[in-house]
Amino acid sequence: MIVTNCRRAALGFLLAGLASVRAGAAEPSIHVVDAWARATPPGVENGAVYCKILNHGGADRLVGARSSAARAVEIHESLAQNGVVEMRRVDALPVGAGASVELAPGGTHVMLVGLAAPLAAGATIQLTLAFATAGEVTVEVPVVDARAPPAAHEHEHHGQ
């Protein structure tokens, strides 16, 4: 499937994703892991971040996001219905008690609107996700070249 390449690329960043931190609390109820941003072609305005949200606490909702890498950050959902793809803004993404929610290519994603600069593979951006109950979670997001990798590129990914 389409997702496989990106997932494979993202796997290499499992550890980087686990380094997510929540400012303040000693025992955060929400962890954001496996975060990665799609490297962007030159000239494009927007980017996308994917991640997994693990909720160890009670029912919560992702209600906002921000990053210094973009003018605005929104939660979006790509919906494919009747052969048409529609991207919709999601105001609040429910994260059930003890549940995990995956933001993956072709589905729900964090949209970076108005990039300050193109996202270059190998760089890292900071993303803060705001949850209604758990508060803010800031995560370091590696930028990944998600193009079908020639053998040499793939090697780079796994090397990090």
Partner 1 sequence: MKRAEAVAIGVATAIAIAVGIGAGLWRSVASTPPPEIGGYVLPRAKPLGALQLIDDRGAKVAAQNFVGRWSFLYFGYTYCPDVCPLTLVELAEVKKKLAERTPSAAMSVYFVSVDPQRDSPERLHEYVTYFDPDFHGLTGDVSEITALANAVGAVFFVPPGQDEKTYLVSHSSSIALLDPSGALRAVFTAPHDAEQVAADFAKIYSRYETRR
Q: Decide whether 95 or 119 has the Cβ nearer to partner 1.
A: 119
If you write DSSP's letter for every residue of the chain in order, what string do you get?
Answer: -THHHHHHHHHTTHHHHHT-B-SS-SS-SEEEEEEEEE---TT---EEEEEEEEE-SS-EEEEEEE-TTEEEEEEEEEEEETTEEEEEEES-EEE-TT-EEEE-TTSEEEEEEEESS---TT-EEEEEEEETTTEEEEEEEEEE--S---HHHHHHHHH-
Q: Decide whether 24 or 41 has the Cβ nearer to partner 1.
A: 41
Please, what is the minimum distance in Å from the beta carbon of residue 27 to partner 1? 33
Please, what is the minimum distance in Å from the beta carbon of residue 76 to partner 1? 7
Q: Decide whether 14 or 87 has the Cβ nearer to partner 1.
A: 87
Please, what is the minimum distance in Å from the beta carbon of residue 54 to partner 1? 22
Distances (CA, A) of 149 to 4, 101, 146, 152, 159: 12, 27, 7, 8, 14
Q: Decide whether 23 or 87 has the Cβ nearer to partner 1.
A: 87
Interacting residues toward partner 1 by CB under 8 A: 1-2, 5-6, 38, 40-48, 76, 78, 80, 83-87, 105-106, 109, 111-113, 146-148
Please, what is the minimum distance in Å from the beta carbon of residue 107 to partner 1? 8
Structure tokens at 104: 């993956």
Q: Decide whether 109 or 157 has the Cβ nearer to partner 1.
A: 109
Please, what is the minimum distance in Å from the beta carbon of residue 1 to partner 1? 6
